[in-house]
A and B are shown apart, each in its own frame.
Chain A
Amino acid sequence: MTTARPFAARATLRLAALMALAVTVLSLAAMALQYRLVEARLMAAQQSLLTADLNGLAALYDQRRIIALRQAIDYRATAATGDEMLLLMDRNGQTLAGTRKDWPATLAPAGEGFTTDGAVEFTEDETRWLAVARALPGGFPLLVARSLQPVDDTLGALRRGMLGLLGALLVAGSAVGWLAARSVMARINRINTLADRVADGALDARLPGPRSDDEFGLLETHVHAMLDRIENLNRATHRLSDTIAHELRTPLNRMLQKLSKIEGQDDLTADLKAEMRQAIRMFDSLLDISRAEADQGTGGGLVPVDLSTVAAEVWDLYDPLAEDKGLQTEAHIAPGQQILGDRNLIAQVLSNLLDNAIKYCADGDHLTLTLTPEDDRILMRIADTGPGLPEDLKPEAFDRFTRAERDRATPGHGLGLALVRAIAARHGARLTLPPSEKGFALEIRWPRLQQSD
């Protein structure tokens, strides 16, 4: 099995983040529009207040000129609210009446009408004012201004509110995104886990429980339909190979029977029989390979096997053959190493490897078999000092029908290592070709049988 997946619903998170962002941006635009409207309306209100002030002063000026203005401004100044600024001066710069004593430095009188044309904003003591500064006929500077503080206060409150809302939107968006990603991931994980199990060979694995009536349920239904199809095809393939085995063996069988009836050409018939035996072996190996590959990961048919015993038995079977060929043989087999396996398949692996080694090694070469326990594995190593594997052949050494050019004359069909790999995979064993100075070395790490129960 694969290790637990990290929480990685990046796609969902991205989508949720995008949506949260879109909502935030839209809200921001709406709020900005509203802000502008409120600002314009408030400014207009201040402007109309200023206009009213000016209109009143204009009426007084029409009646009694400066005197009336001075009286009215005095009166207004005593009842000042702080929201308005009035100042009337004489031609010498003396203050006649007003809410303040001196003329603001940043402002210059301009024009002489009582209109709001040319109204200007100026800032004094961090307060903004909307002001009309005039020089009345005869050189009397007049300042009429309205504070913009209420406008700024309102807009400030509005800005604070908007900022808070923005924060809340972002938090809510992230929370919704995280929740959505989590729930999507939980449901997708079910399917991922199923896919992992199937990839590991459990073709009959299915999701338990009822399927929900949504897109995930539909996906599960489709995945199940797909798996059913694969499983059926797989079963059909098994049936087909069995059928082929049967159908091809029958004619081969008849050939063998007829071969036995030939008399007087013993050498030729013996050769033919050997050839046919070779063809049948090749055929069996191919079937064994496809069956081992098909059964990979299912664990079915595997029972506790003492790997040490099997290794020793097969070693004892081949050791005399190696000795007769003049090889220096050595076996170090740690006793009692248990795995979950198929005795005949394991024996086939060893038989293939030892047979290869003996076939390719020459007088004086060394051949060693070691079986040593590792953490949760059992390391089986077969090494010889023979000609080894040509470097260019290594990547495909375990493919079917791979044979070195130089070995064309040696009998064999190039299925041995392919079968070794298929059987190793069937047992969940890891196969490696460690670099060796001379000759061929192969390591198989078998998973140790868990003794817990």
Chain B
Amino acid sequence: MTAMDRILIIEDDPETAAAIRAEAEALGCATDHRDTLPSGIEAATSAQYNVIVLDRMLPGGDGVDAMARIRAGGSTALILILSALGRAANRVEGLEKGADDYLPKPFEPEELRARLRALLRRGTIQVLDNDLLAFGDVEIRLKARTVHVKRTHVPTSPKEFELLTYFARNAGQVVTRMQLLENVWNLHFDPGTNVVDVHVGRLRRKLEDAGATAIQTARGEGYIFAPLPA
């Protein structure tokens, strides 16, 4: 993540736009703001952005329908849809039509920050063609689907392995429960109970029993995967 990261905000509610801007700037990004769809598309296709935060019900149309035009205009930015159309069906529709992430309104600022961070990171890191992910004592072999801590094999269930992989790919950043539900379980609704906590807790205990304090709780936000170097 560099200071040169640029984020385009296409959002018609000024207060929401200000909140997004605050989060983006807290991440050290430069921001531009447009409040109608046509002007947003125009901006998106005329300058290079890392991430576009796109509302859906905008003056001038639905942001989801505009994604194709933004892409056709040559933009390679990752698109985060931020919309009041927040039901599971809406989210799946948005993701299927090409959004890189979908956050329903109302959103908590921490959630938005986590999402933006994940997108910014995805935009910069190289595609993982490497079989081995190593963080200090923790080694993850993707093809063999095995986890070792200090050379000792740690047995994991398939879901635990996916959970750990997702954590590893977002190492050092806050990952929210909602992100985990969406990306690891592919569920796009809020189940109300923090079912995810139990799974994270189990994985954390397994790693700790093997001698790696890798997963920390970020109070009120989510979790951080930050294995301490050996």
Name A residues whose Cβ lies closer than 8 Å to a Cβ of B: 242, 245-246, 249-250, 252-257, 260, 266, 270, 273, 276-278, 280-281, 284, 287-288, 291, 301, 313-314, 316-318, 320-321, 324, 342-345, 347-348, 351, 355, 358-359
From B63-71, B146-154, B185-193, B207-215, the one touching the partner chain is B185-193
What is the minimal beta-carbon distance from B165 to any residue of chain A, in angstroms? 16
A250 to B193, CA, bound (A): 24
| Segment 175-193 of B: residues with Cβ below 8 Å from A | 185-193
Q: Which residues of B have CB within 8 Å of A301?
A: 89
Chain B interface main SS type: loop
Pick the contact of B159: A266, A316, A347, A348 (CB < 8 A).
A316
Please state if B106 and A266 are interface contacts (CB–CB under 8 Å). no
Interface hits, B92-107 → A, CB 8 Å: 92, 104-107
**Which residues of chain B have C-beta atoms less than 8 A from A355's C-beta?**
191-193, 195
Determine the distance from Cα of A301 to Cα of B96 in the docked complex, in whole angstroms: 13
B229 part of interface (Cβ distance < 8 Å): no
Q: Which of A254, A314, A345 touches B16 (beta carbons < 8 Å)?
A: A254
Interface size on B (CB < 8 Å)? 36
- B154-183 at interface with A (beta carbon < 8 Å): 157, 159
Known: A318-B195, A320-B198, A355-B191. A249 touches B105 (CB 8 A): yes
Give the residue among A254, A316, A317 with the most B Cβ atoms within 10 A: A317
Residue in A281, A342, A347 whose beta carbon sits within 8 Å of that of B89 in the complex: A342
CB atoms of A249 and B84 under 8 A apart: yes
Q: Give the shortest distance, in Å, between B89 (CB) and chain A (any CB).
A: 7
Q: Are B16's CB and A250's CB within 8 A?
A: yes
Whether A344 and B106, one on each chain, are in contact in the complex, defined by CB atoms closer than 8 angstroms, is no
Shortest Cβ distance from B88 into A: residue: A344
Shortest beta-carbon distance, B64 to chain A, in Å? Answer: 13
Given the known inter-chain contacts A249-B84, A257-B15, A348-B88, please indicate yes or no for A313 contacting B185, CB distance below 8 A: yes
| A273 contacts across to B, CB distance below 8 A | 108, 220
Cα distance, A242 to B15, chains bound together (Å): 21
Closest B residue to A411 using CB positions: B192
Q: State in angstroms the CA–CA spacing of A355 and B189 once bound together.
A: 14
B187's closest neighbor in chain A, by CB? Answer: A347
Contact yes or no, A245 B198, CB < 8 A? no
Q: Is the interface of A mostly helix, strand, loop or mixed?
A: helix
Residue B73 at the A interface, CB < 8 A? no
Contact pick for B109, options A260, A318, A343, A348, CB 8 Å = A260
By a CB distance below 8 angstroms, the chain B residues around A255 are 106
* Chain A residues within 8 Å of B185, by CB: 313, 317
Q: Of A249, A270, A345, which one neighbours B106 at CB under 8 angstroms?
A: A249
B189 touches A257 (CB 8 A): no
How many whole Å from A359's CB to the nearest CB in chain B? 8
Q: B118 within 8 Å of A by Cβ?
A: no
User: With A256-B108, A316-B159, A321-B195 known to touch, is A245 a contact of B84 (CB < 8 Å)?
Assistant: yes
Q: Separation in Å of the A448 CB from the closest CB of chain B?
A: 23
CB distance from B163 to the nearest CB of A (A): 11
B123 at the interface (CB under 8 A from A): no
Q: Which residues of B contact A277 (CB under 8 A)?
A: 190
Residues of B within 8 A of A245 (CB): 84-87
Name the A residues within 8 Å of B192 (CB-CB): 278, 281, 355
B191 / chain A contacts, CB cutoff of 8 Å: 351, 355
- Contact residues, B45-93 vs A (CB, 8 A): 57, 84-89, 92
Identify which of B84, B188, B199 gathers the most chain A CB atoms within 10 Å of its CB: B84
Q: Is B13 interfacial (CB-CB < 8 Å)?
A: yes
User: Separation in Å of the A265 CB from the closest CB of chain B?
Assistant: 12
User: A347: shortest Cβ distance to chain B, in Å?
Assistant: 5
